[in-house]
Structure 1
Amino acid sequence: MDNISRRSLLSVGLGAGLIAAVPGTAFATSVADDAGLRTDPFRLGIASGEPWPDGFVIWTRLAVDPFAEDGFGGMPTRQVAVAWEVAEDAAMRTVVARGVEQARIETAHSIHVELRGLRPGREYFYRFRTGRHLSEVGRTLTSPALHETPAALAMSFASCAQYEHGYFTAYQRLAQDHPDLILHLGDYMYEYKKGGYVIGGGNPRDHAGPETSTLAGYRQRHAQYKSDVDLQAAHAIAPWLVVWDDHEVDNNWADEVPENSDPNQLNDSAEHFRLRRTAAFQAYYENMPLRSSSVPAGFDMKIYRTIQWGQLANFHMMDTRQYRDDQLAGDGWRKNVTERLAEDRTITGAEQEKWLLDGFKKSTQSWDILGQQVFFAERDRDRSPAIDDVSMDGWDGYASSRRRITQGWVDANVRNAVVLTGDVHRNWANDVKVDYKDPSAPVVGSELVCTSITSTGNGGGSTSDPVMAWNPHLKFYNDNRGYVNTTITKDSLTADFRTLEYVTTPGAPVSTKASFVIEDGVRGLQAR
């Protein structure tokens, strides 16, 4: 299977009618009627996610015109029947489950199928059909049985794909590396209007529509991103676990506080922002392979959850936006903001913090991996020990919250704790401590920070940042674009920082800028 390309996964039609059947359960016979669609409605691709031992979610959204301003993708106002099937082979000969779902205008003609009754630790393939139109074939996996320890897991993670700043070649290269699981740590899309966020030399391509603030706008923007064939390739190769950061809604938002909060302006009022969050969350669910447990309830949407990979790993997928206290002193870097140390400040909220700490206590896995959004380790830009110059938007702005989480995994005797991070558009590899002010404090975990897919445009290739001199726990830096591949076994976690030299034109090759290994039971990163 390693040599199967995205295009070679395309296959022949399914036939006129399908009997929906998941092993052990019978469904009614139905016909996949395309409601007279004359052009291909699968222009946004397909995806899978949320693997569990006996199933996963498969997803698609119908659109014949992804750039339609009303957000409905040029689709008719009526529902459209969509057939789906899951097989054990890429040629779709050994079908193990099939059915028909209705794509409805209320959810922008998206389809979420939650499969059950499949075998654990297996590779599967899936596709969709409506009328004479057939999607490509996607590859996905079930997770291992909860009592099993697989020999290895190939997991990749990525974040920050600003469509205007470059081409999504990194997604294509990620797909070619053929991972078995992909984590996306946020900023899957950006909210800005054309020209709202311009890199040096100018943006190589443009957003459609105004800054996203309405349901129609968010739907249109997701469709524009999903129409990119490189992103489609990454979705088709493996199941995804997704969490948002800020740009899926509004830059640097915090709970019910928008980036620019002014109660005297309608567009920046708390009431308007709740409406904006409602629209953004609805569109996010419609466009992601999420379980029904993440269906939004107005301006609330639960995306923190734990996915177990047998006894090998727990993936604790977190939400550091929806429940956080507002950033202090603005959203950027500030000096000597002592309020950031307050015991009651939180970036997770009390309920999510308890969920995570309880998860540490219950863990029997070799690795507990936190999939989250913003920089976790301390990163002080001022050399003087008497002055702190840190980002108010990352965990440095919520120091007590970070200490409680870190001390929590220490107290729970978590075997190996690894934090995965996006957001900062640079690669970093960091040792994690409970107390960063004490040079003799032990290392208790590791942080791997992926760079962006495109955000901020071409990198310069630098592998040194001045702050590393007085932050000795920061072990690696790089400013290229790319993603991170990991290989996880019960004995070690190996991380390869995969980078591209340019993204403002398509087709860049990929190479490994640096590699690190974390040995089982050995705290800290080791360069390979």
Structure 2
Amino acid sequence: MRHIRRQNTDAAPFTDEHYPTFYGSDFSNTPFVWNGGINFTHGVASGDPLDTSVLIWTRAFPLGAGPDQSVPVCVQYKVFTSPALPGKPIDSAQAFTSWDVDFTVKFEVSNLKPDTQYFYVFSDCTNPKTISVVGKTRTLPSPDTPAALVNGGKPLTMAVFSCSQFQTGWFNAYGVAAHNTSAELFVHLGDYIYENVDGALPIGRDVMGRELATIHDYRQRYNQYRTDTSLLFAHQNAPWITVWVRIDDHEVADNAWKAGTTDSNDTAAGCSFSPSGACFTDRKLAAVRAYHEWLPVRQVTQFDQLRIWRNFQIGKLLDLTMLDTRQYDRDVTDVSFPAFQSYVYSSHFVTILTTRAVVGSLATVANRSLMGAAQEKWFAETLTQSQERGAVWRVVGQQIVFTQLLLGGAFGSGFPKQDDWDGYRANRQRVLDHLYSNKISNTIILSGDSHANWVSDLAHPNDTTTYNPLTGQGAIGVEFAGTAVTSPSAFGVGAPPAATDPISALFVAGNPDLQWSEGSFRGFFTLSIDSKEVNATYYAMSDISTPNLNAFVSAVFNVKSGKNQLSRPVAGGKVAAGVLKPTNLTST
């Protein structure tokens, strides 16, 4: 029998309440529940932890032909305090999923203890012997927990990622972080998937389907990405906190802003760029829906499905503030059409040709915004409130490099890109002014998207009268920008250090705030945070052409509480990859 008649089944195990799917569905009156067996096809995941709750996720795909669209699948979860799952669970509940949400299901597990590790498992309500793998997650400490007591007095470690393109490499960075580091939170800064189909390297990892446009397209791509073993293991073993890059580049399409992307908008011509004829707004809404289906992320407000900016208070140790610097009310950016770029690299120079002068001319417009007025106001208030509540650190997760990146003294030529902060200079100035004028200390900005590593002191660009790049005096914070999990380097696809280091040297020499640049290796970095210091450890993958856990530490950086700068000598004066600013530095 493929269906169970609900009226012939004890009603007690089932909750006939409205199931809050992304757009809303109600299965309270359905006469059947699927009883043909399910497969937890994509493991388990958790995310957006708070002090007393966390989201847990799975996908319960029906076996065989499956039910029609009107028949739900019932999924149960159980939560324990030990991986052995002993005795009675501390919490358990059931909910429905269906075709309407691609058979994904998210629960918010509530009434948990702060700063505590938990283990969870899913099962088929109609056959409890069918279970998922066991997931591991945790709650955050309560906002008033003293900084020295957060995480039981041990440093809190988070792993930071961005830009994972399926066809260009295996997601080994996720596996290294999950297997070989002590990271307890995974932070993803965007480009979790890519909407395009090109860029494949000869590693046997071609993506299915076409350039993404419809809900089917986006679901298919998430489905395929989540077959990577390292990604599955990383989701299984730690809660994730994510933002998209550009619902946009590439969770929707490349270089999105509030009214379009590189190749589409809502005009007749713009719609024709999409392989399905879908217009920009249709693509965006499909992408947002799939993102919320497939990732354990909270919908911040039911009235604004596009809002993903939010704040996590992690005891008195830190505020983790996640921004949307790519989609939410962003003013027009580099649409790359018509555009031509040619990159020519040598050991001493980079020639970059571009025709994006119009958008580039807007970079200094005073009211131009990367975040939109509402988010920008919220961000400033959040920074101020964080300091006022006594949090030691302010860690800002966002998508794009904040520090100025001039190349040969010029803006807007490949690097920096017009859709980075260098294309919204007045907005960056307002952020820095707020930090300086309000004496907001211990701010650390995390960045992704650039497919290269950059570490900088935070200061007004080119202002060497108040900021000393040798000692770090005059800085107001630090930026740690990480490379891609797999996406190719903008310094040259597959380029070895011998080819990328000369380019890094040009960047380091031409930008006073920039202290380290590295453009060859794919990888990630971790932040280890306690009340006295933050240590950033950068990991480089030895090989992404096969699945493996081979990696090395390319650099380690330190920031002391109250100093607002990288400790000198930067990286201890020695890195295993990339280029440091000249190391005749004095300790501070």
TM-score (normalizing by structure 1): 0.86
Encode CA deviations 1:126-183: one digit per residue, 9 max, x unaligned. 1111123211111111101111121321111101100000111111111112411110
The Cα of 1:413 is off from its aligned counterpart by: 2.7
Equivalent position of 1:436 in the other structure:
462
The Cα of 1:112 is off from its aligned counterpart by: 1.3
Equivalent position of 1:505 in the other structure:
546
Distance (whole Å) between structure 2 residues aligned to residue 214 and residue 115 of structure 1? 31
Shift in CA distance, 388/97, structure 1 to aligned 2, threshold 3 Å? closer
The Cα of 1:258 is off from its aligned counterpart by: 1.5
The Cα of 1:472 is off from its aligned counterpart by: 2.8
Structure 1 position 285 matched with structure 2 position 292: yes
The amino acid that maps onto 2:104 is S
Aligned residues: 489
Q: Secondary structure at the match of 2:375?
A: helix
Encode CA deviations 1:49-77: one digit per residue, 9 max, x unaligned. 11111111111122369xx9xxxx97753
Q: Secondary structure at the match of 2:382?
A: helix
Contact 1:377-1:447 at 8 Å conserved across structures: yes
The amino acid that maps onto 2:160 is F
Bigger radius of gyration, 1 or 2? 2
Equivalent position of 1:354 in the other structure:
377
Contact 1:155-1:179 at 8 Å conserved across structures: yes
Structure 1 position 314 matched with structure 2 position 322: no
Counting only pairs closer than 5 Å after superposition, residues 70-149 of structure 1 correspond to structure 2 as 77=69, 78-93=71-86, 95-130=89-124, 131=127, 132-148=129-145, 149=147
Shift in CA distance, 439/208, structure 1 to aligned 2, threshold 3 Å? farther
The Cα of 1:198 is off from its aligned counterpart by: 3.6
Shift in CA distance, 128/343, structure 1 to aligned 2, threshold 3 Å? same
Contact 1:120-1:143 at 8 Å conserved across structures: yes
Which stretches in structure 2 are left out of the alignment for 5+ residues? 1-9, 16-31, 342-353, 468-473, 573-588
Distance (whole Å) between structure 1 residues aligned to residue 66 and residue 206 of structure 2? 20
The amino acid that maps onto 1:63 is F
Distance (whole Å) between structure 1 residues aligned to residue 55 and residue 414 of structure 2? 45
The Cα of 1:204 is off from its aligned counterpart by: 3.5
The Cα of 1:290 is off from its aligned counterpart by: 1.4
Shift in CA distance, 511/400, structure 1 to aligned 2, threshold 3 Å? same
Distance (whole Å) between structure 1 residues aligned to residue 210 and residue 44 of structure 2? 26
Contact 2:526-2:538 at 8 Å conserved across structures: yes
Contact 1:381-1:388 at 8 Å conserved across structures: no
Q: Secondary structure at the match of 1:409?
A: helix
Contact 1:85-1:99 at 8 Å conserved across structures: yes
Shift in CA distance, 395/74, structure 1 to aligned 2, threshold 3 Å? farther
Shift in CA distance, 503/410, structure 1 to aligned 2, threshold 3 Å? same
User: Identical aligned pairs, as a percentage?
Assistant: 29
Contact 2:261-2:335 at 8 Å conserved across structures: no
1:525 to 548, 562, 566: 566
Structure 1 position 301 matched with structure 2 position 288: no
Distance (whole Å) between structure 2 residues aligned to residue 329 and residue 277 of structure 1? 16
Contact 1:335-1:388 at 8 Å conserved across structures: no
Distance (whole Å) between structure 2 residues aligned to residue 388 and residue 137 of structure 1? 45
The Cα of 1:463 is off from its aligned counterpart by: 4.9
1:190 to 194, 209, 225: 194
Distance (whole Å) between structure 2 residues aligned to residue 272 and residue 291 of structure 1? 26
Contact 1:166-1:205 at 8 Å conserved across structures: yes
Structure 1 range deviating more: 261-270 or 109-118: 261-270
Structure 1 range deviating more: 143-152 or 335-344: 335-344
Contact 1:458-1:501 at 8 Å conserved across structures: no
Encode CA deviations 1:78-114: one digit per residue, 9 max, x unaligned. 2100010111111111521111111122211121111
Q: Tell me the C-alpha RMSD between the 2 structures.
A: 2.9
TM-score (normalizing by structure 2): 0.78
Shift in CA distance, 216/389, structure 1 to aligned 2, threshold 3 Å? closer
Equivalent position of 1:345 in the other structure:
368
2:53 to 35, 52, 55: 55
Shift in CA distance, 75/135, structure 1 to aligned 2, threshold 3 Å? farther
Contact 1:20-1:97 at 8 Å conserved across structures: no
Encode CA deviations 1:320-371: one digit per residue, 9 max, x unaligned. 1222111158488767944211111000000000111001111121111110
Structure 1 position 470 matched with structure 2 position 507: no
The Cα of 1:414 is off from its aligned counterpart by: 2.1
Shift in CA distance, 472/117, structure 1 to aligned 2, threshold 3 Å? same
Counting only pairs closer than 5 Å after superposition, residues 62-461 of structure 1 correspond to structure 2 as 62-63=60-61, 77=69, 78-93=71-86, 95-130=89-124, 131=127, 132-148=129-145, 149=147, 150=150, 151=153, 152-176=155-179, 177-193=181-197, 196-199=198-201, 202=202, 204-245=204-245, 246-261=249-264, 263-265=267-269, 266-268=271-273, 272-293=279-300, 300-322=305-327, 323-327=329-333, 330=336, 337-363=360-386, 364-383=390-409, 390-441=416-467, 442-456=474-488, 458=494, 460-461=496-497
Which stretches in structure 1 are left out of the alignment for 5+ residues? 1-15, 22-32
Distance (whole Å) between structure 2 residues aligned to residue 507 and residue 467 of structure 1? 32
Encode CA deviations 1:265-286: one digit per residue, 9 max, x unaligned. 2334998100110100000000
Encode CA deviations 1:251-270: one digit per residue, 9 max, x unaligned. 11111212124734233499
Shift in CA distance, 504/53, structure 1 to aligned 2, threshold 3 Å? same
